[in-house]
Amino acid sequence: MVWHRNFDVFLNTLKVNFFPSLLEPILYLAAFGFGLGGFIPSIEGQPYVNFIAPALVAISIMNGSFFECTYASFVRMYFQKTFDAIVATPVSVEEVVAGELLWGATRATINATIVLAVISAASLFTAVPLVSSPLFILVPLIAFFAGLLFSSIAMCFTAAAPNVDFFNYPAFLFVTPMLFLCGTFFPLTSLPIPAQGLAFAVLPLTQVVNVVRGAIVGAVEPILGLSVEAILAYSVVWLVLATVLFFVMGINLMKKRLTS
Amino acid sequence: MVSNEVLIGASGLTKKYDNYTAVNGIDFEVYKGECVGFLGPNGAGKTTTIRMIYCFLLPSAGKLEVAGFDVHTECRKIKAVVGVAPQEDNLDPDFSVLKNLTTYARYFGISKDEALKRAEEQLKFFQLEEKRDAPIMSLSTGMKRRLIFARALINQPQVLLLDEPTTGLDPQARHLVWDEVRYLKKQGVTIILTTHYMDEAEVLCDRILIVDHGRIIEQGTPKQLIEKHVGKEVLELDYDEKLPVLLKEAFQSARIERLGDRLQVFTDQPHGVFEAFLQKHKLQNVMIRNANMEDVFLKLTGRGLREE
């Protein structure tokens, strides 16, 4: 029901919500893929544009869900007092927060599907198709669960946020670094070995990039001498465990904030 | 009709925060069909008590039952039969007036058609039909208060909690709210309201609880409270230094209060004593009026200003 509320708002504001998310991947693809990519011979034997296309899908998952459950959730909770109004009905605090998280995951799925459509269409202009594995069909599913993870992490920040400016910290110190350092616009192997290990071991976007790249091009960038199977298995397990952990944590922290 | 069935019962109800106690071990009962007013200065614990009744806040100690359900364990059942009109505006600015009601109805699991039917009825009653499709931002304060009230009725509640329902309303809108409260009372809805307007409490409430510093300091019907604490009539006149002595002589048992440059004389003697006094002494700017709840309230909670 909380999900439904947010969905209704999304439909009402389709124009401002849909078109920007359509335009952004086109710009990235044009600027980095076709513009900058023209100066880069190839990465791991594939054209640069093919390297970044799956990463754009992963980034759209992160941005869609993270910003939905930080700024947007905070506005609903703090300024609009929407949560206060809902918890006066039979809906519980836990359900309100769970609804927000599922909605964040849905936004991620919508965004990722749009970007997937954009890169599929862009394949018309590339030497090698940007989407080359039949597993691409799994992208919406991956997007939903990865979106749930970023939503849940975001919700933990929202539970701690004293005001809306607070989100500058996670946005610039957490999201922006991941945007560049998780095997998105250049391979992880370009980083010093310890940084490679760190990005691979702990940063959520690295795992999402790995899994999405695996689904879209059927291969991942080799790192630290590990096999493709080992990398993918690690990323999938990491994502599942982290999603469960942060989902529970996000709900509990929000409950603590809203009921005291 | 007020029955003798207890619908809301609290005993030793307490809400503590880190460094202060908002509600300090209160006991009260609200009977089915009754309209009870919680009066008290800012920070007395009124809103905290209301919030515990609809499970928004969990009590730190004590018992609280609403419609036979325990607030510690059966919140969902309580919230299904309670309607809440909070003090602050928490209407959904992302939706129109009508959509606010139907979306809210959905949280109660009310079907789409039924929700639409009830929403239209409420809009009609609260004279908001013309604003049906208007965004919340375009509503006046009075319209927003009425919509919040309408929203609280969407689940046809047994218990209605009205937290300062008329604050900031013009007299017309205030009377519309009063009419609705009276109508609901006739329908057998049990109502708890908080207010800072003493005339409102006097007109609407069967019984009044006066709270201060987290405790109930007095309770009774408006009439009982007025007679007990301030008597029947009040004499108000301009202050003059000779007057207190004169008044003390004339009304030995009276309570005399000075408020800036006015004097108020309270007495429990029957009607007419003040007229006799005024015939003997020619005084300017004099008024004899009926004693009211405001006199009771100020006597019991003092005149000092309270901060939130």
Q: Which of A14, A81, A86, A89 to mutate to test the interface with B (most CBs of B within 10 A)?
A: A89
Look at residue B136 in the predicted model and tell me its pLDDT: 94
Distance CA A246, CA A149 (A): 7
CATH topology of domain B6-226: Rossmann fold (3.40.50)
Distance (Å) from the C-alpha of residue B222 to the closest C-alpha of chain A? 30
Look at residue B1 in the predicted model and tell me its pLDDT: 60
What is the model's pTM?
Answer: 0.88
Q: Is the dihedral of CA A91, A97, A102, A104 positive or negative?
A: positive
Distance CA A58, CA B45 (A): 50
Distance CA B85, CA B96 (A): 18
Residues 6+ apart with CB under 8 A from B232: B267, B268, B270, B271, B290, B291
Cβ neighbour number for residue A53 with a 10 Å cutoff: 32
Per-residue pLDDT reduced to its tens digit, A52-69 = 999 999 999 999 999 999
Q: Which residue has the higher pLDDT, B176 or A222?
A: B176
Residue A77 has pLDDT above 70, yes or no: yes
Among candidates B267, B273, B274, which has minimal Cα distance to B230?
A: B267
Of B17, B56, B89, the CB nearest to A88: B56
Per-residue pLDDT reduced to its tens digit, A225-258 = 788 889 999 999 999 999 999 999 999 999 999 8
Q: Select the CATH number that applies to the domain covering B232-290 from these four: 3.30.450, 2.60.40, 3.30.70, 3.90.930.
A: 3.30.70
B155 contacts A81? CB cut-off 8 A: no
Does the CB of A11 have a partner CB in chain B at under 8 Å? no
Q: Is B63 helix (H, G, I), strand (E, B) or coil?
A: strand
Per-residue pLDDT reduced to its tens digit, A19-43 = 777 788 888 888 888 888 878 878 8
A4 contacts B106? CB cut-off 8 A: yes
ipTM score for this prediction: 0.84
Residue A162: burial class (beta carbons within 10 Å; 0-12, 13-18, 19+): exposed
For chain B, positions 6-65, list CB contacts with chain A under 8 A: 17, 54-58
- Residue B270 DSSP symbol: P
Token pair belonging to A193:
């070995």
Does the CB of B239 have a partner CB in chain A at under 8 Å? no
Residue B253 has pLDDT above 80, yes or no: no
Look at residue A16 in the predicted model and tell me its pLDDT: 64
B106 contacts A84? CB cut-off 8 A: no
- Residue A18: pLDDT band with limits 50, 70, 90: confident
* Lowest mean pLDDT, pick from A35-49, B112-126, B198-212, B268-282: B268-282
Look at residue B50 in the predicted model and tell me its pLDDT: 94
A84 contacts B79? CB cut-off 8 A: no
Mean pLDDT of B151-165: 95
Cβ neighbour number for residue A112 with a 10 Å cutoff: 31
Q: Please report where in the chains the tokens 């003092």 appear, as a residue.
A: B302
Look at residue B308 in the predicted model and tell me its pLDDT: 43
Distance CA A226, CA A189 (A): 12
- Residue B230: pLDDT band with limits 50, 70, 90: confident
Among candidates A241, B164, B170, which has minimal Cα distance to A249?
A: A241
Size of interface A-B (CB pairs under 8 A): 59
Of B86, B93, B108, the CB nearest to A89: B108
DSSP for A168-194, please give it: HHHIIIIIHHHHHHSSSSS-GGGS-HH
Token pair belonging to A34:
């076709």
Mean pLDDT of B106-110: 92
Of A5, A13, A90, the CB nearest to B108: A90
Q: Can you give the residue ranges of every domain in chain B?
A: 6-226, 232-290
Residues 6+ apart with CB under 8 A from A78: A163, A164
- Residue A45 DSSP symbol: T
CA distances from A256 to A54, B45, B122 (A): 38, 21, 35
B99 contacts A8? CB cut-off 8 A: yes
Look at residue A14 in the predicted model and tell me its pLDDT: 64
Per the document, the length of chain A is: 260
β-pair type (B21-31, B207-212): unpaired
* Lowest mean pLDDT, pick from A19-23, A124-128, B29-33, B172-176: A19-23
* Lowest mean pLDDT, pick from A115-119, A161-165, B37-41, B166-170: B166-170
Per-residue pLDDT reduced to its tens digit, B20-49 = 899 999 999 999 999 999 999 888 899 999
A82 contacts B92? CB cut-off 8 A: yes
B90 contacts A89? CB cut-off 8 A: no
